[in-house]
Amino acid sequence: MTDAESFLAEYDPREYPPVAVTVDVVALTIRDGKLCVLLIERGEQPFAGHRALPGGFVRDETLDEAARRELAEETDVRLVEDRVHLEQLGTYGNPGRDPRMRVVSVAYLAFAPHLPEATAGSDAARAYWVPVEEAKDLAFDHDQILADGLERARDKLEYTPLATAFVGTEFTVSELRAVYAAVWGEELHAGNFHRKVLSVPGFVESTGGTVARGGERGGPKAKLYRAGDARLLHPALLRPTREDRVR
Amino acid sequence: MTDAESFLAEYDPREYPPVAVTVDVVALTIRDGKLCVLLIERGEQPFAGHRALPGGFVRDETLDEAARRELAEETDVRLVEDRVHLEQLGTYGNPGRDPRMRVVSVAYLAFAPHLPEATAGSDAARAYWVPVEEAKDLAFDHDQILADGLERARDKLEYTPLATAFVGTEFTVSELRAVYAAVWGEELHAGNFHRKVLSVPGFVESTGGTVARGGERGGPKAKLYRAGDARLLHPALLRPTREDRVR
DNA sequence: TTAATAGTGTCTATAAGACAATATTAC
DNA sequence: GTAATATTGTCTTATAGACACTATTAA
């Protein structure tokens, strides 16, 4: 009798039915100033024809590795390897969330700088970026997972340098402000934002350079920055109008 | 062929080995001014004789229900049903974290007001509260899970009214301050803390009453408060000396 | 009375937000 | 030039933290 067998013998299989473990990934990026999520089109039942978050079974690997692998299978591997921030979001395991059997899904949240159309992966023909406000009626409980992911992203923008994960290695303050605007869904005062970002120790550091040319319709050349070494923003960049979220 | 069978037939069982799903609970309370965690003594291999977080297999129930059930099995059910705050902490599934087979554990974090010695549950003889600084060398990866739970607790005290989950339905500002001191591991200035707590809308509301008598060694009778309706503290009660945690 | 604790007042430095002003650049 | 944008300045209000102070109560 192996360890695994004696372990399994401890319980009645009827009381502990077989469980499958999957990972699902909420991958977020910003395209054309809009916050977008990576979705796939389901071909089979259940939820055939519906859109869903990319995901799949966990193999002989860590959960983090499984999430990174699933993401790499749907988008450009090269980009995914380097600069994608990946963190665990939560685990969803209600009985019945998958009609076929008990499936416990560990959801991950990924933040990526502007990515090209997802066409390089193996299943890439089925994967595409969708503005988050258009991502409705997803398969399984993926509407809930997406909602939780968005809430997490909005929160973490406040007190972590996460916004820098959505831009290139060098960026302007305006680009960073556009990230906050896209994720929070509201415009921010340019002047106050600028001063605030530069006042947080370790959030950004100057490269000394500037962009090659000003904006499309005029304006000075903006200075370039890179991400600093801060892991937490202090003071934080709090969202305006928290009142509705407080009670 | 049932749905489950066809589902399982999609993959090679050698590539997707069987997985067990468990819940583990980091249950925290405050006893004698110290932050304590509920631990059990393991009787069997592996890690026989080691202490571990309470936990067990997920049955035909939600993950939340599983966590609540496991907690109830180790402590007083009546108390657990009402006033315990329970939230998902994270999921731990590295291959090899359990030497017997692949086990994915969904960890939960529980906050409870001062609880009696854990003696009422079925396995209660093995369960006891341990000051967190003495909870070392736990089984499996439970040291890491506990560390993550403590970090989460310390963070949430800052921007949520979580501290009220550690005290009774009616409490004094001093009792609340003792919670912060125990969880953060540092004393807080009584006067500033007092004014700050009362200034956060919805954090606490006055009951109109006071305690029956002052402190052991003198002092006025403190006013009593109950938890307010705020779900987020604004402004937050930030920990002092964040510098070391920022970089 | 004494010591301990609850609760308030005050002052300073920092931060947030409103808003104005200046500077630079594409067209 | 004109319009757009980057960046800085100023002012008001809110907050954090240090510290002093008063009030109340058990022993």
Q: What's the pLDDT at B84?
A: 87
d(CA B185, CA B178): 10
d(CA B101, CA B162): 36
Q: What's the pLDDT at B213?
A: 84
List the 185-214 stretch of A: residues with Cβ below 8 A of B. Answer: 201-202
CA A67 to chain centre: 11
Q: What's the pLDDT at B198?
A: 98
pLDDT band at B176 (very low <50, low <70, confident <90, very high): very high
- Tell me the per-residue pLDDT of B19-58, one tens digit each, with 9 for 90 and over: 999 999 999 999 989 999 999 998 888 899 999 999 999 9
pLDDT band at B135 (very low <50, low <70, confident <90, very high): very high
Q: Which residues of B touch A23 (CB under 8 A)?
A: none
Q: Which residues of B touch A246 (CB under 8 A)?
A: 201-202, 230-232, 234
d(CA A169, CA A149): 24
List the A170 CA – C16 C1' distance (angstroms). 27
Per the prediction, chain B carries an average pLDDT of 88
pLDDT band at B162 (very low <50, low <70, confident <90, very high): very high
Least confident segment among A71-80, A90-99, B167-176, B216-225: A71-80
List the nucleotides on chain D closer than 7 A to a protein CB: 2-10, 14-21, 23-27
**A220-to-A28, A189, A192, A214, A223 alpha-carbon distances in Å:** 30, 18, 18, 5, 9
Find the CB nearest B232 among A6, A15, A246.
A246
State whether B88 and A88 contact (CB < 8 Å). Answer: no
Please check whether residue B1 touches A, CB under 8 A.
no
Helix (H) or strand (E) holding B161: none
Q: What's the pLDDT at A124?
A: 45
**Strand locations in chain A (E):** 19-31, 34-41, 51-52, 55-57, 85-92, 102-111, 127-131, 204-210, 223-227
> What would the mean pLDDT of B127-134 be, rounded to a whole number?
93
Q: Are B109 and B89 in contact (CB under 8 A)?
A: yes
- Degrees, nearest 5: CA angle A111-A113-A116: 115
d(CA B232, CA B202): 9
Which residues of chain A are under the pLDDT cut of 70?
Answer: 1-17, 76-82, 115-125, 241-247
Q: Are B75 and B118 in contact (CB under 8 A)?
A: yes
d(CA B139, CA B82): 30
d(CA B125, CA A191): 63
State whether B91 and A247 contact (CB < 8 Å). Answer: no
Mutation target for A interface from B1, B12, B16: give the one with most A CBs within 10 A: B16
CA–C1' nearest nucleotide, residue A224:
D6
Composition of chain A by helix, strand, coil, percent to 5: 35, 25, 40
List the A86 CA – D24 C1' distance (angstroms). 55
Q: How far is A229 from chain B (nearest CA, A)?
A: 6
Q: Which residues of A touch B7 (CB under 8 A)?
A: 20, 100-101
B110: tokens are: 């529980």
Q: What's the pLDDT at A218?
A: 81
- Tell me the per-residue pLDDT of B53-68, one tens digit each, with 9 for 90 and over: 999 999 999 999 999 9
Q: Which residues of B touch A62 (CB under 8 A)?
A: 93-95
User: Going by DSSP bridges, is the β-strand pair A19-31/A102-111 parallel, antiparallel, or unpaired?
Assistant: parallel
Q: Give helix then strand counts, H and E, for chain B.
A: 7, 9
Q: What's the pLDDT at A43?
A: 85
Q: What's the pLDDT at B83?
A: 77
State whether A247 and B229 contact (CB < 8 Å). Answer: yes
d(CA A117, CA A74): 10
Please check whether residue B99 touches A, CB under 8 A.
yes
Predicted confidence (pLDDT) at residue B219 exceeds the cutoff of 60? yes
C-alpha count within 13 angstroms, C-beta hemisphere, residue B203: 25
Domains of chain A with CATH codes: 3-157 (3.90.79.10), 160-246 (1.10.10.10)
Positive or negative CA dihedral for B229, A145, A94, A85? Answer: negative
Percent of chain B having pLDDT more than 70? 83
Nearest CA in chain B to A2: B100
Q: How far is A172 from chain B (nearest CA, A)?
A: 22
Please check whether residue B89 touches A, CB under 8 A.
no
> What would the mean pLDDT of B128-140 be, rounded to a whole number?
95
Least confident segment among A6-10, A126-130, B156-160, B232-236: A6-10
Q: How far is B9 from chain A (nearest CA, A)?
A: 12
- Amino acid letter, residue B189: H
Burial of B78: CB neighbours in 10 Å, binned 0-12, 13-18, 19+: exposed
List the A190 CA – C12 C1' distance (angstroms). 29
Q: What's the pLDDT at B168?
A: 93
Q: Residue A88: helix, strand or coil by DSSP?
A: strand
State whether A90 and B88 contact (CB < 8 Å). Answer: yes
Q: How far is B236 from chain A (nearest CA, A)?
A: 11
